[in-house]
A and B are shown apart, each in its own frame.
Chain A
Amino acid sequence: MTDDIAIDRTKYDQASEERLTYKASPGITEELVRRISQRKDEPAWMLDLRLKSLKRYQEKPLPTWGPSLKGLELDKIHYYLQPDAKKNSTRWEDVPEDIKQTFEQLGIPEAERRALAGTGAQYESEMIYHKLKEELKKQGVIFLDMDVALKEQEALVKEHFNKCVPYNDHKFAMLHYATWSGGTFIHVPKGVKAEQPLQAYFRMNAERGGQFEHTLIIIEEGAEASYIEGCSAPRYDTSSLHAGCVELFVKKGAQLRYSSVENWSGNTYNLNTKRAIVDEDGIIEWVSGNLGSGTTMLYPTSILKGNRSKAEHLSISFAAEGQHQDTGAKAYHLGKNTSSTITAKSISKTGGTVTYRGVVKVNKGSTNARSNVECDSLMIGNNSVSNTIPLIDVKDKTAKVGHEARVGRIGEEQLFYLQSRGLDEEAAIKMIVSGFIEPITKELPLEYAMELNKLIELEMEGTIG
């Protein structure tokens, strides 16, 4: 049974040969920021924003809470890497052979063959492959590389960029706004319902690289869309940094599902900021899987601004030896009759640390807010650590907020039952684990669900003895 699901971790960990047309020297300087902007031929307002962010970044100390960032050598990171490939090819054949191989190994064209609505792939700092199904194009859906969007859709970008996650939000947002490159831009016009998911894949290849993609999604009034992204990086001995930023705008009566499976290599610092602003009657759904990466600090946030807006967060975090997954979810209830549901599952295995850090905040005057948070942790093996730090902050007496959490190990009875049905212990544990994460996998498109399942299975290997 384990045979057909066995996968080869090396396909993620292996680095391809570096072929870059431009590799910035390590460290970040004003000169570099100007250079990035110049190479991209950006409008002046963007350069101003970059410089403003850089200035704040240089003044701001590292955060003192959360996991240790000691191993993060910010001066040694290459902040901008441009691969040797035509930007935004629409034909898969145009993509250079080695890059293509990497993505093929990761299953991108496979996914597209299964008729996902659109695909974008980002290698290092630039988007290199991009395709959007004809039907969606006709309906006016825009799916672009963020750099191109800045040129072709400047007005839309300017209206929303830096408006959901402000550049001065925290140290790594400042860094992001100074050095951002690539990412996804999606605009779904009023009333359009994109039935199939749009997807992007981000890959960091170079040693000591940094990836700072910016994703901006705008779902206009009454429109619906689903977007999914996957992320990976090869394994080096030195640390690399991913500080992406995701800004989501869900307008009146619109609906967006944002899914991501992040599987960075074990020495990546994944310090990501994801946030959505939801207007009246809008719905945001987050589905996230956090595996890989050495240290993750990621708390997708829903700002429920409009009356009757809704947020649903569903996530799984997995930490094996040496990993610290500090993840969670935040919901800010600002409108009236808003609701949020947060389901966070985590697995910590031998030597891994998972932390759930969450916030549910109900403002004064945000009447009849409803929120329910459920955290479920599974601990396997020795030396694993599971922390739960939820903050519930209620300033309106009409609110109803509930939080529940459980931490435990695999039940002897469950194990015994499966073993009595002929499974060996390892297979039984794998089966229990895949049952534990099922609420998340069943919400993902098939390939991503398979990938998530396989990755966790792989991580579980050798758990016994």
Chain B
Amino acid sequence: MINKDHAKLPDKRPEQARRRLEAIGKIHNLPLPLLKEGLSTAIDSDRIPKELHNKSYHQTTTHLITNESEATAKPFDEANEQERALIKRHRYSLIDPHKDRLIALQQAASDNGILITIPPRTKLEKPINILSEYDTNGFTHILIIARNGSEATITRNIKERRGGDETGLICEAVEIIAEEHARITYNEAQDVSRRTAWYSQKKARAGPRAEVRWYSHVTGGSLTKQDTTTLLEGKDAKSASLATMLLAGEQHENSTTNAHHAAANTTTRMHAKAIIGGSARMLHRGLIDISEESPGAEGYQQGDALLTGTEAEADIIPQLEIKNADVACSHGATVGNIEEEDLFYLQSRGLDEERARDVIAEAFLISITAHAEEDEQWKEEILSIIKAQRGTT
């Protein structure tokens, strides 16, 4: 039950409590997230548990952090005074907590989060790994601050421990601040229960010459709603948003990736690839927005869907909004199915049909690594995520 008492429960800090109270007051006036665009396939918003306030939000979420570097990666409630000031300054500095009902709920109910700070000019050799395990419902905030000239990779696995039939709700927020010349790679693999609605807001700000790279792999969730946004605010900033999705059964997925170019010579690469089986549905929108202040910008956007289920549906809206003529932008989208010829070829090499379909599907997802060719470590991370999750389904 989420109420005023709940605000006091998890931690006793007055600042936190005040914020919660404010958020709780506003939740019910805010709209649910938008899951439909124009004439597109309807994504079922009934899958968001209706009576948000009647649910139990005493979560037992555990975050297992593996960090062998000089960077800081710790839960908010273990932060020292200096770190608390950082959290206060940057938490929800990019994401608007009043955007919709779920992000407001996330703000109101999240009891803890993880702060990662990479000191100036520090290049981490090994990734920081986080295993987030949820029970039924959960709310998490990840705040990453990469100081000038630093470099780091964060790889996160999201799982759910419980079984059973109860419908759950997980809301997450990820904010990344990449200062001048910093480079942050954030990888995420989501494999929660197929009865849980998973909602994730991700937003990054890239300063001059900074680079932000996102990779997300989704296999779980009855409903997945994911928005990934990069603000390219510094000159020569770069971003990459890669996503793979493996949907089956009756899963619904709605995701958007956005890049807002607000400075000169900024570049964006976006690519989403989805395999959609059973009667699963996907609605994906990509947006590259190039402002008047960003001459010399370059953008690339691609969305591909492979429909393998007879009742599967896909909607792709690759959108460009360009307000500067000094630009080179392209986008593309494809929707198709497994080619009979490819199947025949593999079967003629001795694979049975099922195995042949698997090989083709895996190759389809793995080809996303073409965007990570120049970085062996990132490529390996992506490959291991796809392979690990393919193994479990």
* Cβ-defined partner of A399 (8 Å) among B292, B329, B331, B335: B335
A392–B329 CA distance with the chains assembled, in angstroms: 19
Are A388 and B318 in touch, CB under 8 angstroms? yes
Nearest-neighbor residue (CB-CB) of A408 within chain B: B328
Question: Cβ of A122 < 8 Å from any Cβ of B?
Answer: no
Q: Which residues of B contact A406 (CB under 8 A)?
A: 329-330
Q: A387-B322, A399-B307, A401-B336 given as contacts; is B329 within 8 A of A394 (CB)?
A: no
Contact check: which of A382, A385, A402 meets B322 at CB < 8 Å?
Answer: A385
B: interface residue count bin: 35 or more
Which residue of B292, B316, B330 is within 8 Å of A392 (Cβ)? B316
Which chain A residues (382-418) contact chain B, with CB distance < 8 Å?
A: 382-409
> In the complex, which residues 350-366 of chain A have their Cβ closer than 8 Å to any Cβ of chain B?
359, 361, 364
Min CB distance B42 to A, Å, is 11
With A397-B312, A399-B307 in contact, do A390 and B329 touch (Cβ < 8 Å)? Answer: no
Cβ–Cβ contact B325 & A405, under 8 A: no
How close is A106's CB to chain B, nearest CB, in angstroms?
32
Q: Mark B298-341, 1 if CB is under 8 A from A, else 0.
A: 00000001011111111111111111111111111111110000
User: CB within 8 A of B309: which of A384, A391, A397?
Assistant: A397
Selected from B39, B305, B318, B327, the residue in CB contact (under 8 A) with A405 is B318
Given A388-B318, A390-B317, A407-B330 contact (CB < 8 Å): yes
A407, B40: Cβ atoms closer than 8 Å: no
CB-based contact B320/A405 at 8 Å: yes
B331–A388 CB distance below 8 A: yes
Chain A residue numbers with a CB within 8 Å of B307 are 394, 396-397, 399
A379: Cβ under 8 A from any B Cβ: yes
Chain B residues whose C-beta falls within 8 Å of the C-beta of A392 in the assembled complex: 314-317, 333, 335
User: B38 to nearest A CB, angstroms?
Assistant: 6
Most chain B CB inside 10 Å of its own CB: which residue of A359, A384, A403: A403
Report the tally of A-B residue pairs with Cβ distances under 8 A.
121
Taken together as a complex, chains A and B put the C-alpha atoms of A406 and B320 apart, in Å, by 9
* A381 CB–B CB distance under 8 Å: yes
Rounded to whole Å, the gap between the CB of A161 and the closest CB of chain B is: 26
| Interface residues of A, count at CB 8 A | 37
Q: Is the CB of B322 within 8 A of A393?
A: no
A400-B336, A404-B330 given as contacts; is B313 within 8 A of A394 (CB)? yes
Give the CA-CA distance A128 to B328 in the complex, in Å.
48
* A388 vs B328: C-alpha distance when bound (angstroms): 14
> With A381-B325, A387-B320, A404-B332 given, is the CB distance from A393 to B39 under 8 Å?
yes
- Does residue A380 face the partner (Cβ distance < 8 Å to B)? yes
Q: How far is the CA of A404 from the CA of B37 in the complex (A)?
A: 20
Partner of B40, one of A381, A388, A391: A391
- Residues of A274-311 contacting chain B, CB below 8 A: none
Once the chains bind, are A408 and B320 in contact (CB under 8 Å)? no
What is the bound-complex CA distance between A381 and B292, given in angstroms? 11
A379 and B322: CB pair below 8 A?
A: yes
Q: Is the CB of B39 within 8 A of A409?
A: no
CB-CB nearest in chain A for B339: A400
Would you call A405 and B308 a contact (CB within 8 A)? Answer: no
Is the pair A397, B320 in contact by a Cβ cutoff of 8 Å? no
Of the A-B pairs whose beta carbons lie under 8 Å apart in the complex, a sample of 23, sorted by A's number, is: A348-B325, A377-B322, A386-B322, A387-B321, A387-B322, A391-B316, A391-B317, A392-B315, A392-B317, A392-B335, A393-B314, A394-B307, A394-B335, A397-B307, A397-B308, A399-B336, A405-B332, A407-B320, A407-B327, A407-B328, A407-B329, A408-B328, A409-B328
Binding site for B on A (CB under 8 A): 65, 348, 359, 361, 364, 377, 379-409
Q: Residues of B with Cβ closer than 8 Å to A? A: 37-41, 292, 305, 307-337
Give 9 new A-B contacts, CB below 8 A, not counting A380-B325, A399-B336, A406-B329.
A364-B311, A385-B321, A391-B317, A392-B335, A401-B333, A404-B332, A407-B329, A408-B328, A409-B326
